Chains A and B, each alone.
Chain A
Amino acid sequence: MTKPDSLRLEPGAKRRHYWRDLWRYRELFYMLAWRDISVRYRQTAVGVAWAVLQPLATMIVMTVVFGKVAGLSKASGPPYALLVIAGMLPWQFFSSAFAGASQSLVTNAGLISKVYFPRMIIPAGAVATSFVDLLIAFTILLAMLIWFQFVPNWHIVVLPLFMALSFGAAMGFGLLVAALNVKFRDFRYVVPFIVQFGVYISPIGYSSELIRSRLGDTLYYVYCLNPIVGIIDGFRWAILGTPLDVFALLIACASVAVAILVGVWYFRRTETGFADII
């Protein structure tokens, strides 16, 4: 006779109710995300305004450098500053979520070696924290839309789907690198490099159309393997109504799906050993 709460611990025992367990621990997920959010701006003078100031400053620099100095600004279409901010928001979310998730297991080593819970909660909490920052940073976009008197068309209702896609990308890559980082601390140095590299291979300060016109279709689709390209184009399409290549978007969806599958697979394969090697 075993009670409903009974549990058998054996070597290599598959966590039978893995996803149900994860759901049961959702309170802990909220609490950890809440902790990270509420701790983040304590004892700072301007507080949560940092979530707005950072993307705002970067946006201004990029607009000046790419738009005015490099002369990438076009006469037609939405104002260049709007184009930049619509690319900045998903990129800043992805890079901070990805970097945060990658380090999350190591920074919470104390928790992992002393308490049981499904380990996926920790990187998920880190991604959720950055997601809240994204929502706050949307106020810049709103203010700029009013400033430029730009009214988005119906595409805007699809925006949450692109936000979900960026969330998925951050989770997929974040889980993989977080798990790798437990064993190989090299990733502490690799991650900032990837993020910096990402700034150049993603259409943040310019439009992806520019790549297509310079490199041709084939290389353009190779370029689209970077899922951030599809995500940024999606954001711009939804907010500003710029054109969107459906095939490029499908490539982005496929690479996010692969990242999630590989990330979840590797994470689950290694998570039972985290406490032993962290």
Chain B
Amino acid sequence: MTTPIIRIEGLGKLYKIGEQQRARKGPTFGETLVTAFTRPFGKGSGHNASKEFWALRNVSFDVAEGEVVGVIGRNGAGKSTLFKILSRITDPTEGSAQLNGRVASLLEVGTGFHPELTGRENIFLNGAILGMTRAEIRKKLDEIVAFSEVEKFLDTPVKRYSSGMYVRLAFSVAAHLEPEILIVDEVLAVGDAAFQAKCLGKMRGISETDGRTVMFVSHNLASIRQLCQRVCLLDKGEITVIGAPDEAIGRYLSDAVVGKKVSVADWDDRETTGDARIVEIELQPGDVGEIAVIKMGQPLRIKMEVEIPEPLSDPNFGMLVYDSSGTPLLDLRSLHQILLVGRVTGRIAVQLEVAQLGLYPGHYFLSPWISDTGNRRNLDFPKMCVAFDVSPSGSDVDAQLDRDWGAYFVPSTWSVV
């Protein structure tokens, strides 16, 4: 029997919410002094003002050498906490993790990059931060530079780089680490598609060719499916599923709310600035039932209700539609038609209409979003919060169609010539 390279047993991390918030605002020494006087016997009194919560609880699993394990879950599910413990950044509150090999972790692309330093200087600095020695970096410098495609700007300060160049350079340094265990947190979400594909290839090489162990978090379910042999789904700090990628991903997606009229005001997994909040999504398909089922080729109306606390002028709206593996299929935006809503505040509703929904029968997800004037940044973006099914059109010919055959129904004309 071989020893697993990572053995995690009953791992848990407790945070005190109050403590963190106070630390962020700048706690005062005076407060502590006051506490020391009013409660001289410490926490024994039981009046603990700060709330406690388990960011991670009872997490146990083994990882074999050379395995690629993906970790998925909504925001706040504990993925980052797990990785922070495995990277030694923070101590667990209970349980243990045994790591039998040299660990390198990449929780952020370009940690420690300094804008005033040149690309070359940053390679050395970032390499040292990630645990490489100068000799190692010097040996791999050419490879790193070639991978990053920024040769020409190597002696330019990185503050003059485009964001794409910056990310490419940063990922290239990390990609050339040679640890036995590599821990990667959601870093593939950056860069252009071609570079992302290159990074995925590199990650695959790390495990397949070099036999190293990789654990990684991603919201990109397609890359999780491609890369991982096993996937761990976390929810509220605990493991829901650990097993085959399809099983875990299927379970993750099945959590989305299915229904005709869905409240998404409390959906956790969202990017938001607080300037707007999408509160409700209503699907108005041809046939009406409790679960939104849309027939292939039928019209679909989606109504989005948004709460806007402070007046906004001309926001933009959109919907992303994903298939059940998380691959985006449709990108519907109000920008394509220049919808001028003027200056709005309070609760407003917009509606989008698709004349013919051409998706093949299957299970689909929606991410609605609202962005500011000029579409510079998202104001609210609840991710994959609504699910719906597309059913065959009803004709016998279409009964056997599903997502395995194709993605879109496009009317076509056939004739003998």
Task: Tell me the A residues contacting B by CB distance below 8 Å.
Answer: 1-3, 5-13, 27-28, 30-32, 35, 38-39, 42-43, 110-117, 183-187, 272-273, 275-278
What residues of B have a CB within 8 angstroms of the CB of A3 in the complex?
100-101
Say whether B414 faces chain A, with CB atoms less than 8 Å apart: no
Q: Give chain B's interface residue range (CB within 8 Å of chain A).
A: 35 or more
Beyond A11-B94, A39-B117, A277-B20, is A5–B180 a contact (Cβ under 8 Å)?
Answer: yes
What residues of A have a CB within 8 angstroms of the CB of B130 in the complex?
115
What residues of B have a CB within 8 angstroms of the CB of A43 in the complex?
116
Q: Is the CB of B105 within 8 A of A115?
A: yes
Beyond A35-B117, A110-B111, is A272–B129 a contact (Cβ under 8 Å)?
Answer: no
- In the bound assembly, the distance between CA atoms of A110 and B107 in angstroms comes to 11
Beyond A9-B88, A35-B117, is A185–B27 a contact (Cβ under 8 Å)?
Answer: yes
Q: Contact string, B23-41, partner A, CB cutoff 8 A, digits 1/0?
A: 1001111101000000000
What residues of A have a CB within 8 angstroms of the CB of B249 in the complex?
none
Q: Which residue of A lies closest to B3 (CB)?
A: A1
Q: Is the CB of B94 within 8 A of A186?
A: no
Minimum C-beta distance from B238 to chain A (A): 18
Q: Sorted from nearest, which 6 A-B pairs have the closest CB atoms? A: A116-B88, A31-B128, A185-B26, A277-B23, A186-B29, A10-B96
What residues of A have a CB within 8 angstroms of the CB of B29 in the complex?
184, 186-187
28 CB-based A-B contacts, threshold 8 Å: A2-B98, A5-B102, A7-B88, A8-B96, A9-B88, A9-B97, A10-B91, A10-B96, A11-B91, A11-B92, A11-B93, A13-B91, A31-B124, A31-B125, A31-B129, A35-B114, A39-B114, A110-B111, A110-B112, A115-B87, A115-B107, A184-B28, A184-B32, A185-B26, A187-B29, A273-B91, A276-B90, A277-B23
Q: Is the CB of B121 within 8 A of A276?
A: no
What residues of B have a CB within 8 angstroms of the CB of A5 in the complex?
100-102, 180
- In the bound assembly, the distance between CA atoms of A183 and B35 in angstroms comes to 15
- In the bound assembly, the distance between CA atoms of A11 and B100 in angstroms comes to 18
Task: Tell me the B residues contacting A by CB distance below 8 Å.
Answer: 3, 15, 19-20, 23, 26-30, 32, 84-103, 105, 107-108, 111-112, 114, 116-117, 121, 124-125, 128-130, 133-134, 157, 180
- In the bound assembly, the distance between CA atoms of A243 and B128 in angstroms comes to 47
What residues of B have a CB within 8 angstroms of the CB of A113 in the complex?
84, 89
What residues of A have a CB within 8 angstroms of the CB of B180 in the complex?
5
Q: Which residue of B lies closest to A278 (CB)?
A: B23
- In the bound assembly, the distance between CA atoms of A192 and B77 in angstroms comes to 42
Given A10-B91, A13-B91, list of 19 further CB < 8 A pairs?
A2-B98, A7-B98, A8-B99, A9-B92, A11-B95, A28-B128, A30-B128, A31-B125, A31-B129, A32-B128, A35-B114, A115-B89, A115-B112, A115-B129, A116-B87, A183-B23, A186-B30, A276-B90, A277-B19
What residues of B have a CB within 8 angstroms of the CB of A6 in the complex?
98-101
- In the bound assembly, the distance between CA atoms of A120 and B101 in angstroms comes to 24
B111 is contacted by which of A30, A114, A187 (Cβ under 8 Å)?
A: A114
Minimum C-beta distance from B113 to chain A (A): 10
B85 is contacted by which of A9, A12, A31, A110 (Cβ under 8 Å)?
A: A9
- In the bound assembly, the distance between CA atoms of A115 and B180 in angstroms comes to 17
What residues of B have a CB within 8 angstroms of the CB of A30 in the complex?
128
- In the bound assembly, the distance between CA atoms of A194 and B107 in angstroms comes to 37
- In the bound assembly, the distance between CA atoms of A112 and B111 in angstroms comes to 10
What residues of A have a CB within 8 angstroms of the CB of B125 in the complex?
31, 35
A111 is contacted by which of B19, B85, B111 (Cβ under 8 Å)?
A: B111
What residues of B have a CB within 8 angstroms of the CB of A278 in the complex?
23
- In the bound assembly, the distance between CA atoms of A27 and B88 in angstroms comes to 19
